[in-house]
Chains A and B, each alone.
Chain A
């Protein structure tokens, strides 16, 4: 796809900024509604991008979310500067969570995060360097 057919939206996400948490994924969702993307895709993007955004808010210092949309697919990339993930296989297991009791109190960290993102996207890729940060890529076919 040529670059001029792609709509790119970028967002900065701040670690521990719980008051604005969820705004980036909400804007992505509203953009998809304006394009007329199917309801099922919107639902899956909303869930997956929210989870990914919240991971940055809860664990990282800061991060960037990039959303690229054309008429055949949606690609969302989230890159953060944070502690990274030591054992990605473990983090991908259903129910695994490192959320603190305070985060759980707020309703986060039910161990749904990464597996939930994977479940809701059509393709999913994760890479991480301990002490540096984590990069997530998810694709949704239209």
Chain B
């Protein structure tokens, strides 16, 4: 149950043990041991904060390589709406979809359209739901992992609707297989992703047995090719179906834009998400019906595999929303019918996967915490991280667990040394 796939990798040769990453990690999953950063993957939620801050390029993220496109008889690209925000002011979504085709994907579908379908399904779901509230979005795989690990009480608040990239992948694989008479397994359905975390929802999905996607290609990996392809597009067909409602999913607040209820809340950025989940757990947000949580700052446009800075990207998304309107192009009747048929239904229940306590015996865990408090009194409280743990309290815990020594504290060691001299 606890074993999970992770998209973050540390490159030992490049790591100088500088502690920048251990201080950035919101779940305190990283330590510097013998001069190298080591991750306790049991605590890692794949938020990518370490990847963002590493000054030595010693952390990489695993996504599907563009070369893998060759492995399939036929390929389908499903670009995140974020892709539309990555190019110049006048480059329109349809051109970007055509460029994807031109660089080698056999079929390209507008995933923003499926986001738009899901907006309406979410409306239906919220209308029918009897709580507990707030319902929390499952679009961001990191948020789902954060909740199952650190907020197991809130697992029952998670929205039980399939996410757009999964429902789209299922639909288009079936359609393509039928229309072009290709066995479904020979078709590669690939998401074009702004963040490495999408790989965890592909390799270790929650709410479904197996992902409908075959992989996720980083926006940054194909950006150069797309720029080249955009220069002289010959083909001219309409591939973009979405309005601003679907495109808005690229930014924080996008999922709630098309929702009728006023008491919805959108939060982005890892620290703010943690803060708001603490509020939910304290019973403070019971009047909120729907909570959109995205781990990257400003939403998916803040993903670590994007190219454009997120402020520019946000401006572009706003422009596209204005251009394509806030009136959904989806037929309510069709969504209602699909909803009744179970098209949006999650296949499996999402289960809590809480972090193990300090000891499996609560009595022993209490003793360990008491020891921790005693050790903490001796430590200087400077939270300098020089010992290799992110802060003094975590060092004290590591000592109790036998994973560190009090001599790791340079302040105490220096004091001892001075006394001897």
Interfacial residues, chain A to chain B (CB-CB below 8 A): 4-7, 9, 22, 25-26, 29, 31, 33-37, 39, 42-43, 46-47, 50-51, 69-71, 107, 116, 142
Q: Are A39 and B352 in contact (CB under 8 A)?
A: yes
How long is the Cα–Cα vector from A60 to B275 in the complex, in angstroms?
Answer: 24
Q: Are A50 and B369 in contact (CB under 8 A)?
A: no
Q: Are A39 and B153 in contact (CB under 8 A)?
A: yes
Q: A39-B153, A69-B366 are in contact. Are A34 and B357 (CB under 8 A)?
A: yes
How long is the Cα–Cα vector from A104 to B125 in the complex, in angstroms?
Answer: 29
In the complex, B284 has a CB within 8 A of chain A:
yes
User: How many contacts A-B (CB < 8 Å)?
Assistant: 70
Q: Are B365 and A36 in contact (CB under 8 A)?
A: yes
How long is the Cα–Cα vector from A31 to B365 in the complex, in angstroms?
Answer: 10
How long is the Cα–Cα vector from A127 to B278 in the complex, in angstroms?
Answer: 29
Q: Are A50 and B283 in contact (CB under 8 A)?
A: yes
Q: A7-B369, A42-B153 are in contact. Are A36 and B283 (CB under 8 A)?
A: no
Shortest 4 CB-CB contacts between residues of A and residues of B: A36-B357, A50-B282, A47-B283, A35-B365
Contact with A along B274-305 (1 / 0, CB 8 A): 00001101111101000000000000000000
Q: Are A34 and B358 in contact (CB under 8 A)?
A: yes
Q: Are B283 and A7 in contact (CB under 8 A)?
A: no
| Cβ-defined partner of B362 (8 Å) among A6, A36, A43 | A36
Residues of B with C-beta under 8 A to A26: 278, 282
Residues of B with C-beta under 8 A to A35: 357-358, 362, 365-366, 369
| Cβ-defined partner of A43 (8 Å) among B153, B285, B373 | B153
How long is the Cα–Cα vector from A25 to B278 in the complex, in angstroms?
Answer: 10
How long is the Cα–Cα vector from A33 to B355 in the complex, in angstroms?
Answer: 8
In the complex, B360 has a CB within 8 A of chain A:
yes
Residues of A with C-beta under 8 A to B360: 36
Q: Are A34 and B365 in contact (CB under 8 A)?
A: yes
Interface size class of B (residues with CB under 8 A): 20 to 34
In the complex, B175 has a CB within 8 A of chain A:
no
Residues of A with C-beta under 8 A to B104: none
Contact with A along B363-383 (1 / 0, CB 8 A): 101110110010000000000
Residues of A with C-beta under 8 A to B357: 33-36
Residues of A with C-beta under 8 A to B153: 39, 42-43, 46
Give the residue name and chain of the A residue nearest to B152 (CB).
A39
In the complex, B354 has a CB within 8 A of chain A:
yes
- Shortest Cβ gap from B352 to chain A (Å): 7
Q: Are A22 and B283 in contact (CB under 8 A)?
A: no
Q: Are B362 and A107 in contact (CB under 8 A)?
A: no
Residues of A with C-beta under 8 A to B367: 5
How long is the Cα–Cα vector from A25 to B283 in the complex, in angstroms?
Answer: 12
Q: Are B284 and A50 in contact (CB under 8 A)?
A: yes
Residues of A with C-beta under 8 A to B359: 36
Q: Are A33 and B366 in contact (CB under 8 A)?
A: no
Residue of B150, B355, B362, B367 ringed by the most chain A CB atoms within 10 A: B362
Within 8 A of A (CB), among B54-78: none
Q: Are A25 and B363 in contact (CB under 8 A)?
A: no
- Shortest Cβ gap from B365 to chain A (Å): 4
Q: Are A31 and B369 in contact (CB under 8 A)?
A: yes
Residues of A with C-beta under 8 A to B282: 22, 25-26, 29, 46-47, 50
Q: A22-B282, A46-B281 are in contact. Are A71 and B366 (CB under 8 A)?
A: yes
Q: List 27 A-B contacts (CB under 8 A).
A: A5-B363, A5-B367, A6-B366, A7-B366, A7-B373, A9-B373, A22-B278, A22-B279, A26-B278, A26-B282, A33-B150, A33-B354, A33-B357, A34-B358, A34-B369, A35-B362, A36-B359, A36-B362, A39-B152, A39-B352, A39-B354, A42-B153, A46-B281, A47-B282, A51-B283, A107-B287, A142-B362
How long is the Cα–Cα vector from A4 to B363 in the complex, in angstroms?
Answer: 11
Q: Are A5 and B355 in contact (CB under 8 A)?
A: no
- Shortest Cβ gap from B328 to chain A (Å): 31
Q: Are B152 and A5 in contact (CB under 8 A)?
A: no
| Cβ-defined partner of B281 (8 Å) among A4, A6, A43 | A43
- Shortest Cβ gap from B26 to chain A (Å): 13
How long is the Cα–Cα vector from A29 to B154 in the complex, in angstroms?
Answer: 14
How long is the Cα–Cα vector from A55 to B141 in the complex, in angstroms?
Answer: 36
Give the residue name and chain of the B residue nearest to A49 (CB).
B282
- Shortest Cβ gap from B283 to chain A (Å): 4
Residues of A with C-beta under 8 A to B370: 4, 7
Q: Are B366 and A116 in contact (CB under 8 A)?
A: no
Residues of B with C-beta under 8 A to A31: 369
- Shortest Cβ gap from B20 to chain A (Å): 24
Residues of A with C-beta under 8 A to B365: 34-36
With A5-B366, A46-B153 already in contact, 5 other A-B pairs whose C-beta atoms are closer than 8 Å: A7-B373, A26-B282, A34-B358, A42-B153, A70-B366
How long is the Cα–Cα vector from A36 to B354 in the complex, in angstroms?
Answer: 9
- Shortest Cβ gap from B19 to chain A (Å): 23
Residue of A5, A6, A33, A142 ringed by the most chain B CB atoms within 10 A: A33
